[in-house]
Chain A
């Protein structure tokens, strides 16, 4: 093989081997990183941990709610921006995309604390969902906009000429065309929400611990094969989600 190929093989190994090793060792019966024998012990522990189940459910609920909201809001926004530019809005959305997560997190925390002084509410699931919608919208706009750039405005004009009103032109002509983009955007919104630790940990309340928050706490505490098992499950789950969505987009 040529040197370039060797180099590329090395890079692909660097990207994938650590995750594959982690998955493999989640089936190791020993707590330590020396292979003993095949075992599903850590998976058993994971599935019988009631608290872990609750936190995984929280994560799923938050991801589902924020994905639906962000996808709808972001798609409408992209369409509006496609019709006529609004520099300050697209600029703000872009800025929120490049803002380091820690800054989004602390500014939302400061905002919620400030709002608590005027209205009676506390940190909880709702603040986490609001925060997730806020950072997911710009991802959705990014993906849907890319799709809209290739769309043909003449199709809508034709629909309008043929007597459709603006709503019908949007709903019956442009929206169906955007479906693959919207699905890709929703998938992205779901994964960034499900995965988020930095912002969530700052705006979560006592009743809204999420899976990444537990994973983080367990990882901090030291070697724990249950973390490997959860990781393997997330890896496989996300992989399946992407494969399914690619299939759906092709049909």
Chain B
């Protein structure tokens, strides 16, 4: 068995080591070096790239990314919980309703983002319709701002919130709800004192599953945010392309990576590995 298993694992070990772990190691080493005159990576070794993370110019972008991701996550949970509740209560059409939540997820992310550009731009559907109805004269600046980015993030990652909440709600012991009702709790009291607390693990998992991709988002802020609403992902891309400062770009990447890992470790410590 040993030989067969080793042969089976060999290709994935190769790909994981060569195309994931070694590239990450290179990024770690670049983050500790200096930018060359023509944009290359040169010695001496330094930790200056990490110090620059606290430069207000870049710090602002990071803080803003965190706040925008938090806003998108909060909206996803607020929208996802009632939706999951609705699906659980519709025993008959459960799988259809779940598939409908997942359907946009199977469509190209780029197409989904473009759909919002189509709606929000100055000559987009919303502005054209409002002008045609005579409600406004000049188009409203709907695209290229932080609100547009948050809407795009919620649109992109809402399915990630609905699924864990749904599976949590489904495992809920119905007897507890009946007990609460028998003991005289009103429906909203049952909701706040029984259902929500029991749903906390699902809500935490949903929050983390939405927050992580939001924090690392690149396409959404790039296409819907324009130049003024860039997030960490855009900052990294910029350092590796236009700015040609690979060491600094690497340091930002590792800071982002560290944030993602801390979140996951905290969640797994609290709720166990099955939480995700």
Q: Which residues of A contact B26 (CB under 8 A)?
A: 107, 110-111, 114
The count of residues in chain A whose C-beta lies closer than 8 Å to any C-beta of chain B is: 77
Q: Which residues of A contact B16 (CB under 8 A)?
A: 89, 92-93, 96, 134, 137
A231–B108 CB distance below 8 A: yes
Q: Which residues of A contact B104 (CB under 8 A)?
A: 15-16, 19
* A32 in complex: contacting residue of B7, B111, B123, CB < 8 Å: B123
A21–B115 CB distance below 8 A: yes
A100–B256 CB distance below 8 A: yes
Is residue B34 contacting chain A, with contact meaning CB distance below 8 A? Answer: no
Is residue A206 contacting chain B, with contact meaning CB distance below 8 A? Answer: no
B114–A22 CB distance below 8 A: yes
- Nearest-neighbor residue (CB-CB) of B236 within chain A: A102
Question: In angstroms, how far is the closest chain B Cβ from the Cβ of A238?
Answer: 5
B128–A89 CB distance below 8 A: no
* A4 in complex: contacting residue of B85, B109, B125, CB < 8 Å: B85
- The stretch of A36-44, A47-55, A212-220 that contacts the partner chain: A212-220
B11–A238 CB distance below 8 A: no
A19–B237 CB distance below 8 A: no
* A235 in complex: contacting residue of B85, B111, B118, B215, CB < 8 Å: B111
Q: Which residues of A contact B85 (CB under 8 A)?
A: 4
A195–B110 CB distance below 8 A: yes
- Nearest-neighbor residue (CB-CB) of A23 within chain B: B115
Interface residues of A (CB under 8 A from B): 4-5, 7-8, 11-12, 14-16, 18-19, 21-22, 25, 32-34, 72-74, 76-77, 79-81, 83-84, 86, 89, 92-93, 95-96, 98-104, 106-111, 114, 130-131, 133-134, 137, 141, 166-167, 170, 191, 194-195, 197-198, 202, 212, 215-216, 219-220, 222-223, 227-228, 231, 234-235, 238-239, 242
Q: List 14 A-B contacts (CB under 8 A).
A: A7-B86, A14-B155, A18-B116, A34-B128, A77-B11, A89-B16, A100-B213, A100-B216, A103-B257, A107-B24, A137-B16, A215-B110, A223-B118, A228-B118
Interface residues of B (CB under 8 A from A): 1, 4-9, 11-13, 15-16, 19-24, 26-27, 30, 79, 82-83, 85-87, 89, 100-101, 103-104, 106-119, 121, 123-125, 128, 132, 155, 158, 212-213, 215-219, 223, 233, 236-237, 240, 246, 249-250, 253, 256-257, 260-261, 264
